[in-house]
Structure 1
Amino acid sequence: MSRLRTDHDNPTEETPLLQTDSANGHDGKGPVPITPLPRGQISILFVLLLVEPIFSQCIYPFINQLVSELDIIGGDEKKIGYYAGLIESIFYLTEVVFVIQWSRLSDYIGRKPVLLIGMAGATASMICFGLSKRFWQLVLSRCILGALNGNVGAMQSVVGELTDSTNMAKMFALMPVVWSVGATLASVRPLIGGQLARPHDRWPKVFANDFWRHYPYFLPCAVSASCSAFGFFIAALFMKETLNRKKTRPSSEAPEELESTTQTPIPLLTLARHPRVLLAVANYGSLCILDIAYRAVQPLFFATPCALGGLGLPPKTIGLILGSFGILNGALQALWFAPLVRRFGPKRVHMAGLGAFLPLWVLFPVIGALAREGGMTPWVWAAVMLQQVVSVVMDTAYGCVFMYITSSAPNRSSLGGTNGIGQLVAAFVRAIGPASATSLFAVSLERNWLGGGAVWLILIVVSCALWTVSIPLPRETWPREGDPTANDEVHRDRST
């Protein structure tokens, strides 16, 4: 049966993708019911998300020792940090080059093939890394991993296609928890990256073969490769393609009244200039700038002697503080993020998260002054804990900005490209952010600007400036195709 053509049959980049209330199953009265998440597909996505930090971070506990055994350092232990840092960073630098291409390709061939290529590449590269005996082999293995890994952008696109405006916040609340578990499994000392390195030294009876002596770091790499191989087979067998490439064929009764439901991906340069994409990505970049600066200077502040305005804490204590944030943040985000977004809206939660940087910067000199006057008193520890709690508030901005990026895509066929642009900007910021922030901290102390506190004043000013980027955001995320709230009042374009 034919249907009448509506304004939404030929949407442009500026046309809201709205549907009628009856089509959405909602009469416009009362709150919109939350759409249940597809548990099976979400579970598969969580498996892939869990595996991602395992193969990208499992080398961290043993990389310094591995480099110390290479001929390239010539016995000079001062060179270990340089070469280890290069091996660690080459993965992310290579990923920056290829992430947007993989994300864009997923708009054409689908999300599942890109994820499968990423998992297969991770499996092969980790096996190669474990069998590498020379520096160039280690670098090449990590380059392969970065070049074939388009998983992050593709996974965010899958999230956008499996969710709608009623359950997207819940999904983005759970993703950091899963990622944190994977990162813990990969790099915490008692687990994969730490416990399984050099097994012939730990369990000589079990790993007595000469192979384990010649390749002492193969076991943790093999376990990581097994995890990515497991993710590959789970996705290959059970994951459903979320990119809709089907076309509606015209009816013989009224072919002129029907349109294809398929939308072609928008050219990348056009997509990068789209107002909604620009606004969402600008907010993502602003958040990354401040967050990376915070993550870089926080451990540096904790390690700086009290006489210079820091706390003079040992590495073990610093690790416990940072680890406590991971546990606290994961638990509270999973419990509170979705209800907060549903109650106050993503814009308010996002602005509150960005605004939390102001008390974070202010607390640094306050904590330093308390420690300088009376040592590590309970008041100092209370202030440190308060800073951790405020950090949780700040971290809620990530879930909100991911919601805005997902909904900013002009159509679902451009979702991969949109996520790729966001990941490219974030990766660039993360590449230059730590060195910039720590250099500013060091210069403030060396030149005694404002008694060494100029770094905090500068970061406060930068935070205030970047907070204004969030003002043009609409109160709710932009409407998307198929959203049950697409015709709700809350999804009208309101800036305040």
Structure 2
Amino acid sequence: MSAHHDETNGRASDPGSPASSYDPSPETPLLSGQTTPRRRTRTPLPKLQIGILMLVQLAEPITGLVIYPFINQLIAEVGITGGDDKKIGYYAGLIESLYYMTEASTALHWSRLSDRVGRKPVMLVGLIGSCLSIFAFGLSRTFAALLISRCISGMLNGNAGVMKSMIGDLTDSTNMSQAFALLPIVFCTGGTLSPLIGGTLAHPEQRWPHLFSGKFWYDYPYFLPCAVSGILVALFTLIMAIWLKEVRKPIAAEPSSSSDVEQAAPQTETSLPLRALMIPSVIYPVANYGMLSLADMCFLALFALFFASPIDVGGLGFPPSIIGTLLGLLGLVDAVVQTLFFARVVERLGAKTTFRVGVFALFPLFFLFPVLNWVIVWNGGERTPLLWVLITLQLSLVLLMDMSYACIFMLITAAAPNKRTLGAVNGLGQTVASTARAISPAMVTSIFAASKQYNLLGGNLVYVFMLGVILAFFILSGHLPEPPEEKQD
């Protein structure tokens, strides 16, 4: 199990090899090697270590998205709405937001802690918290219990920012984009598996009464999908605990006797004030990450609510099984598309342009919501071929939006002035993204509910509002700095 440090972080240990000519210290700007005209050999990725980190990434959608196919039905069954289906959106949005609200309050602290004690122990805490909280969610029978379980999950989980920081530790300027390109693929895989688990395994006593006939399954009809998700995350935790290696020593343990190191970075990351990162080259990528997270979560929350809401309330009236299947198929196709085309698209267009194409796709993505309801109403509630064509078009636009994620991860990592600030910059990005994710579900589902309840703009105020948000987002994306390698070209 012991391996040379250079092998662990993916850099060749042979001084004569081309890859060994660049081994960035914590004080070296992350993309400084790209300012030279010489094109260096791409360093091979440390496959085992990156693979384990992808499991950490997979755990987030596995536990986070499993509730989406049944969350509206669960809210109705808990009884908090008093039988008024129009109020489901308010309470569903609150549950969906709480995870990210608590995550936003702790994400930066977890990222900074990982620089002190190492990435691995912090990520272990996050995985264990996710595992326990999803079990608790499945055993919750009151609205308060549902809220508490989601809060615990978000509070203990700062893995997203820490995991991206560790990818920065494991890679150099020649293979960083290759590693970050895997993240949306893995998330799409989770987006395929998790909704299928949630939509298929909810209410097992109704679907498979010969296997789940006990009183327990009637009392806890959503425990099975939550338990399956929890078991998967427990397996990921075990794999990481055994095989993941720390890439570098925590900052507190690193020597600082070298005079040139002291001159290059007089402050360690732990003592670096946040105001030192408040520069345009950092602020714009972080702000765009926040807006992308907001738009994505608004779509996901609206998708679940819109497809589940009755037709006369402005939705499509689809059951959880169909919603879960659609989200699962979307994740499957998304993973294939990202795998086959993402690298080629970014190579041709660049990270910034690819990101902006994904942002532009949000305009028709949200515009299609009222069109879908109009089509099904026009056809008397029938699910016509035209309806399915438009649903397919809408889900196809998600593929473009999802390409933006790997692009913004690369842009944020490139924005870190040096290795010492990698944890802080990723933690800041995760804090902003989590804040956006905390706000967006409750915000958009509440506007949806108010639009329908008070017939604002014919019930379409929520879509007009989102189009305005996307317009502001597209303008903001124009201020993204060009990555160094694209400036050079």
TM-score range, shorter chain: 0.7 to 0.9
Aligned residue identity for 2:341: W
Give 3-state SS (helix, strand or coil) of 1:279's partner: helix
Tell me the equivalent position of 2:19: none
- Against the structure 1 CA distance between its residues 143 and 343, is the aligned structure 2 distance closer, same or farther, given a 3 Å change threshold? same
Q: Displacement of 1:186 after TM fit? A: 4.3
Tell me the equivalent position of 1:397: 404
Aligned residue identity for 2:247: T
Q: Displacement of 1:195 after TM fit? A: 7.8
2:361 aligned with 1:353: no
Tell me the equivalent position of 2:162: 154
Give 3-state SS (helix, strand or coil) of 1:188's partner: helix
- Against the structure 1 CA distance between its residues 377 and 282, is the aligned structure 2 distance closer, same or farther, given a 3 Å change threshold? same
Contact 1:249 1:260 in 2 (8 A): no
Aligned residue identity for 1:267: L
- Please give the per-residue CA displacement for 1:12-67, whole angstroms capped at 9, x wherever unaligned: 9xx8862498xxxxx835x6544322101011112222333334455667878988
Counterpart CA distance in 2 for 1:201 and 1:95 is 38
2:323 aligned with 1:314: no
- Against the structure 1 CA distance between its residues 193 and 91, is the aligned structure 2 distance closer, same or farther, given a 3 Å change threshold? farther
Greater Cα offset, 76-85 or 344-353:
76-85
Counterpart CA distance in 2 for 1:58 and 1:336 is 27
Q: Displacement of 1:112 after TM fit? A: 0.9
Alignment of 1:286-297 (within 5 A): 286-297=291-302
Counterpart CA distance in 1 for 2:133 and 2:220 is 15
Q: Displacement of 1:162 after TM fit? A: 2.3
Counterpart CA distance in 1 for 2:311 and 2:227 is 44
Give 3-state SS (helix, strand or coil) of 2:32's partner: coil
Contact 1:50 1:181 in 2 (8 A): yes
Contact 2:49 2:244 in 1 (8 A): yes
Selected match of 2:242 from 234, 237, 243: 237
Contact 2:448 2:462 in 1 (8 A): yes
Aligned residue identity for 1:49: Q
What CA RMSD, in Å, does the superposition of the two structures yield over aligned residues? 4.7
Contact 2:27 2:264 in 1 (8 A): no
- Against the structure 1 CA distance between its residues 10 and 269, is the aligned structure 2 distance closer, same or farther, given a 3 Å change threshold? closer
- Against the structure 1 CA distance between its residues 343 and 98, is the aligned structure 2 distance closer, same or farther, given a 3 Å change threshold? same
Greater Cα offset, 461-470 or 104-113:
461-470
2:28 aligned with 1:28: no
- Against the structure 1 CA distance between its residues 38 and 324, is the aligned structure 2 distance closer, same or farther, given a 3 Å change threshold? same
TM-score (norm 1): 0.73
Counterpart CA distance in 1 for 2:143 and 2:308 is 31
Alignment of 1:33-48 (within 5 A): 33-48=41-56
Aligned residue identity for 2:232: C
Aligned residue identity for 1:235: M
- Please give the per-residue CA displacement for 1:305-342, whole angstroms capped at 9, x wherever unaligned: 8889x674533555544443222222111221122112
Counterpart CA distance in 2 for 1:372 and 1:217 is 32
Q: Displacement of 1:472 after TM fit? A: 2.3
Aligned residue identity for 2:336: A
- Against the structure 1 CA distance between its residues 134 and 432, is the aligned structure 2 distance closer, same or farther, given a 3 Å change threshold? closer
Q: Displacement of 1:409 after TM fit? A: 2.0
Tell me the equivalent position of 1:163: 171
Greater Cα offset, 158-167 or 220-229:
220-229
Aligned residue identity for 1:178: V
- Against the structure 1 CA distance between its residues 76 and 10, is the aligned structure 2 distance closer, same or farther, given a 3 Å change threshold? closer
Tell me the equivalent position of 1:424: 431
Tell me the equivalent position of 1:325: 330
Tell me the equivalent position of 1:24: none
Q: Displacement of 1:102 after TM fit? A: 0.9
Alignment of 1:367-406 (within 5 A): 378-406=385-413
Q: Displacement of 1:142 after TM fit? A: 4.3
- Against the structure 1 CA distance between its residues 464 and 165, is the aligned structure 2 distance closer, same or farther, given a 3 Å change threshold? farther
- Please give the per-residue CA displacement for 1:201-254, whole angstroms capped at 9, x wherever unaligned: 6547xx98x99999887776665554334333322222121345475676xxxx
Alignment of 1:156-195 (within 5 A): 156-189=164-197, 194=202
- Please give the per-residue CA displacement for 1:82-125, whole angstroms capped at 9, x wherever unaligned: 88876665444332322221122112222111012223334455
Structure possessing the higher radius of gyration over alpha carbons:
1
- Against the structure 1 CA distance between its residues 451 and 33, is the aligned structure 2 distance closer, same or farther, given a 3 Å change threshold? farther
Give 3-state SS (helix, strand or coil) of 1:100's partner: helix
Contact 1:35 1:164 in 2 (8 A): yes
Contact 1:104 1:420 in 2 (8 A): yes
Selected match of 1:113 from 101, 121, 126: 121
Q: Displacement of 1:415 after TM fit? A: 2.0
- Against the structure 1 CA distance between its residues 449 and 419, is the aligned structure 2 distance closer, same or farther, given a 3 Å change threshold? same
Counterpart CA distance in 2 for 1:212 and 1:299 is 24
Q: Displacement of 1:350 after TM fit? A: 0.8
TM-score (norm 2): 0.74
- Against the structure 1 CA distance between its residues 295 and 220, is the aligned structure 2 distance closer, same or farther, given a 3 Å change threshold? closer
Contact 2:94 2:442 in 1 (8 A): no
2:461 aligned with 1:468: no
Aligned residue identity for 1:407: A
- Against the structure 1 CA distance between its residues 242 and 260, is the aligned structure 2 distance closer, same or farther, given a 3 Å change threshold? farther
Counterpart CA distance in 1 for 2:450 and 2:94 is 25
Contact 1:121 1:144 in 2 (8 A): yes
- Against the structure 1 CA distance between its residues 238 and 490, is the aligned structure 2 distance closer, same or farther, given a 3 Å change threshold? same
Selected match of 1:282 from 281, 287, 293: 287
Greater Cα offset, 361-370 or 342-351:
361-370
Aligned residue identity for 1:54: I
Tell me the equivalent position of 1:18: 32
Counterpart CA distance in 1 for 2:221 and 2:308 is 33
Greater Cα offset, 437-446 or 420-429:
437-446
Q: Where does structure 1 lack aligned partners over 5 or more consecutive residues?
A: 1-7, 22-26, 479-488
Q: Displacement of 1:191 after TM fit? A: 8.4
Contact 2:307 2:323 in 1 (8 A): yes
- Please give the per-residue CA displacement for 1:365-399, whole angstroms capped at 9, x wherever unaligned: 66566666677654454343233222211221122
